[in-house]
Structure 1
């Protein structure tokens, strides 16, 4: 009997958590573009921030996803701490929708929902339709898991050991209230899903294993326990991201403190809305909703003060030696489309660094004496491009391990290939600067004829680079088509420069190696630009 109870309880909990994950990930895929639009409307208006938090959490059905997303955006400097606080407050309200879904008496329909969903999923090959079906299957698994947990706990009502055990967790004093609240927080921190522990709480109450007061106390604790996800996600993040995570915990702790201090009157207040004796499941969901709405109303005017307090508690990144060059981080993984868009912004920044390198090399071709000033700066650009590539690859390779649709996979692939080509171009620009520096330091002059070819190669390669960068940014296929012609022209200029060099060159001249290397590096840069063209033309 005990094994049967344990197996069914674990199986039911596993199905519930899997259903939540399936539903949440499916909703994120469907709502991804909408989430970006919602976030783009954010201002410092805290009320608007709260509304955004509610909408995001309602869409993805997970406050943990919303708060980790907010922490990630703060870490990437895409949101201010004040804006994130608004989202976090709104997420606390948005997550209460899940509680109302759990009290719907449709557990018996969970199995057929999963069955029909699985059949439709197997026979449908369209990715968008499959994503929508997975959301429906997620709902089915949630209700199936709840029903399994409920049936597994049913025999416990008649077992003296469990009756005695649950009687120890009663809210018969303030100490008892705190104990039960801490149990709720601990269980949620372990499971890392307030929806799961809320479902268990409702199930226990419906089976008569715990009374209404105990259930409400557990719900209060669950609001604290759910903050562990964002807290863990903030480890190693920037100062502002840590502040956002700490704020989430602090907001919920403050809420629990004021509610527990007036718990008796709070219960009386709840009775105004729903009769807990006849509708205990709905009453628990109402307790969850009213707690979070009340807490948001009370704490919203103090968001500015909370911001100031957290600024003092957590030291700034300058004091901690922050060295990241991009705004990308793993905390943004909850919204893949945003990582892809942000990656593109970072790669465009890489292109601007390259253009700066091109302009410095161009000045050196006109005035060789400037090489002593610019050679180190071009080297620094190359070093920075290396950092960009590493951070972009670290984040995007992690992204490819997630379940993405074909369009997002293709965009990620293009971003990574373009990033790699840009970083390699930076290497060749650095080599050009070093070779020109070597010639200058050894007092080896480049005659006017060779300078003419260097200028043409530089101008044509740069023109090709600018066009293809614009094409990458705007996805104008005409620019890639014309880029093929420009690439062919760069190759012909390279061949002519090489031929002219050998026709008019002393075979023992020290100019040979340096000059040939420079024109070859320009050709190699053009080759890497052409690789980008090929990648885009395959789409």
Structure 2
């Protein structure tokens, strides 16, 4: 070959590589747009669904599947679930099943993308732009998601065009022959690409494009897909590497499951290839079919061992002792700058609120599952709440010596008041709710179905109100404050209605209600008291707006 021919070949190869990686970059950008759009439009609902949809293995699997199809990212689902486990919102075993569903969700997404609907790309981008011009956050998020899907489909078209010149490429043929003879290298290659791109879906689509050239054997396709699956489990592990042990157990467990799946499948690649070739499958779509088959088979095999896996991860990744149980943000040097000091106190009180949420969630888990284990750390957590609340009071009292006035004085009082109310809430949880639930479990008592559901709903409402209160405490949002005050009325009505229905069940002589009468009423009372303390965060905001009265008593009519 002449120098000119070599130069032209090198230029063509460079153009092909640029087009190929440009199309992959567009795919990754489209994935990011879908994730951001769905998070803006439905993020709260998805997170709530993940947190509450894990009462059973099947619901956990479906929750992970739906969240991943919506977010287009099993990594995002894994990190969200890990954060929920850290806050005791999801049990570790159910979290592992959620990630099995997330893995299948990613595979289904790849399968849908590869069905030949690239022609919809311009339409989706156009509709997305129109929807994005809507005024609401949900519409903007939905528009962004549609644009992202359109860009993903467009990237598939570009990938197909970029790989066309590779069909006759001798360099590609030589490289493929090299990989065909070295499966561990092929697996490591796609695993590395998945880690670098933080997306197994992007790598699967890339393999799909290469397979369309007809140069990949079925065995090599399977090996490359195994690498994409293995590499896709690594980014969540890296993201939680410095996090708490509870979060690391979940992401590491998912990596272990995929690694074991790859180790089992790799020696059976020839058999799997023969099986796939006997099925009536489209050869051009073989990578996504293999991807889906692998994840479904892995979910079916790993599901029964999810509890064993959770126990293993707990032994391999023990909870580290936390020597820093005191305040983290109360910097004494910041006392000379009131705005900074108040921000520090706010961050510290948010930690107290997070502790209270964890206590509430633990008590509810014990209540729902008749398990004393979640109550074991309640006393220690309440002591931390007391300690942090005391440190915040001392810090703010020192700040007050600097002569606060105006908005800084109001904010200091609001922070102090919220901290005190959280401390009272901790006392109620430890000495009230916790003890009531302990009596229920120790005495093997069972509420009536109606009574149990009423208490569970009030538990859920209380936890949701606390999360709203935490947001109000930081943002001072007037509308949220008004909503929380209205929720207080709903809590009062729910408590009254449940008490009345409980008395009706007593009159009907229902045995469960007779056995749990005092427990039912005591739990109702404690949850109502907790909500009263939580709602206090809205008082300063509504008071400044003139919407609070000194007394809730109505003025008597003259002469009445």
- Tell me the TM-score normalized by structure 2: 0.59
CA RMSD of aligned residues (A): 4.0
Once residues 104 and 309 of structure 2 are traced to their aligned partners in structure 1, the CA distance between those partners, rounded to angstroms, is 19
Q: Are the equivalent residues in 2 in contact too, given 1:31–1:59 (CA < 8 A)?
A: no
CA shift at 1:13, angstroms?
1.5
Q: Does 1:106 align with 2:109?
A: no
Q: Does 1:346 align with 2:360?
A: no
Q: How does 1:484-495 map to 2 (within 5 A)?
A: none
Q: Structure 1, unaligned stretches of length 5 or more?
A: 327-341, 353-376, 389-416, 430-467, 481-525
Once residues 298 and 326 of structure 2 are traced to their aligned partners in structure 1, the CA distance between those partners, rounded to angstroms, is 36
Q: Are the equivalent residues in 2 in contact too, given 1:54–1:87 (CA < 8 A)?
A: yes
Once residues 128 and 220 of structure 1 are traced to their aligned partners in structure 2, the CA distance between those partners, rounded to angstroms, is 37
Q: How does 1:70-469 map to 2 (within 5 A)?
A: 70-118=81-129, 120-121=130-131, 123-170=133-180, 172=181, 176-275=182-281, 279-317=282-320, 319-321=321-323, 323=325, 346=353, 349=356, 381-383=389-391, 422-425=414-417
Once residues 543 and 274 of structure 2 are traced to their aligned partners in structure 1, the CA distance between those partners, rounded to angstroms, is 69
Once residues 535 and 203 of structure 1 are traced to their aligned partners in structure 2, the CA distance between those partners, rounded to angstroms, is 61
Q: Map Cα deviations across residues 18-44 of structure 1 (whole Å, 9 max, x no partner).
A: 111111222233333432443354456
Larger radius of gyration: 1
CA shift at 1:9, angstroms?
2.0
- Tell me the TM-score normalized by structure 1: 0.61
- Where 2:179 maps in the other structure, the secondary structure is coil
**Cα distance, 1:530–1:135 mapped onto 2, change above 3 Å:** closer
- Of residues 289-298 and 33-42 in structure 1, the stretch that sits farther from structure 2 once superposed is 33-42
- Of residues 107-116 and 6-15 in structure 1, the stretch that sits farther from structure 2 once superposed is 107-116
Q: Structure 2, unaligned stretches of length 5 or more?
A: 1-11, 329-348, 360-384, 397-408, 422-471, 474-479, 490-535, 548-560
**Cα distance, 1:47–1:144 mapped onto 2, change above 3 Å:** same
Larger relative CO (CA 8 A, sep 6+): 1 or 2? 1
CA shift at 1:134, angstroms?
1.6
**Cα distance, 1:130–1:264 mapped onto 2, change above 3 Å:** same
- Of residues 72-81 and 289-298 in structure 1, the stretch that sits farther from structure 2 once superposed is 72-81
Pairs aligned (count): 377
- Where 1:208 maps in the other structure, the secondary structure is coil
Once residues 174 and 276 of structure 2 are traced to their aligned partners in structure 1, the CA distance between those partners, rounded to angstroms, is 28
Q: Map Cα deviations across residues 197-237 of structure 1 (whole Å, 9 max, x no partner).
A: 11100000012242332122111111110112210121221
**Cα distance, 1:47–1:160 mapped onto 2, change above 3 Å:** same
What is the aligned partner in structure 2 of residue 475 from structure 1? 484
**Cα distance, 1:384–1:251 mapped onto 2, change above 3 Å:** farther
**Cα distance, 1:384–1:292 mapped onto 2, change above 3 Å:** farther
**Cα distance, 1:112–1:287 mapped onto 2, change above 3 Å:** same
Q: Are the equivalent residues in 2 in contact too, given 1:227–1:249 (CA < 8 A)?
A: yes
Once residues 426 and 286 of structure 1 are traced to their aligned partners in structure 2, the CA distance between those partners, rounded to angstroms, is 55
Once residues 45 and 353 of structure 2 are traced to their aligned partners in structure 1, the CA distance between those partners, rounded to angstroms, is 22
Once residues 108 and 488 of structure 2 are traced to their aligned partners in structure 1, the CA distance between those partners, rounded to angstroms, is 49
Q: Map Cα deviations across residues 505-537 of structure 1 (whole Å, 9 max, x no partner).
A: xxxxxxxxxxxxxxxxxxxxx999645643797
Once residues 392 and 234 of structure 2 are traced to their aligned partners in structure 1, the CA distance between those partners, rounded to angstroms, is 35
Once residues 536 and 88 of structure 1 are traced to their aligned partners in structure 2, the CA distance between those partners, rounded to angstroms, is 49
Q: Are the equivalent residues in 2 in contact too, given 1:385–1:423 (CA < 8 A)?
A: no
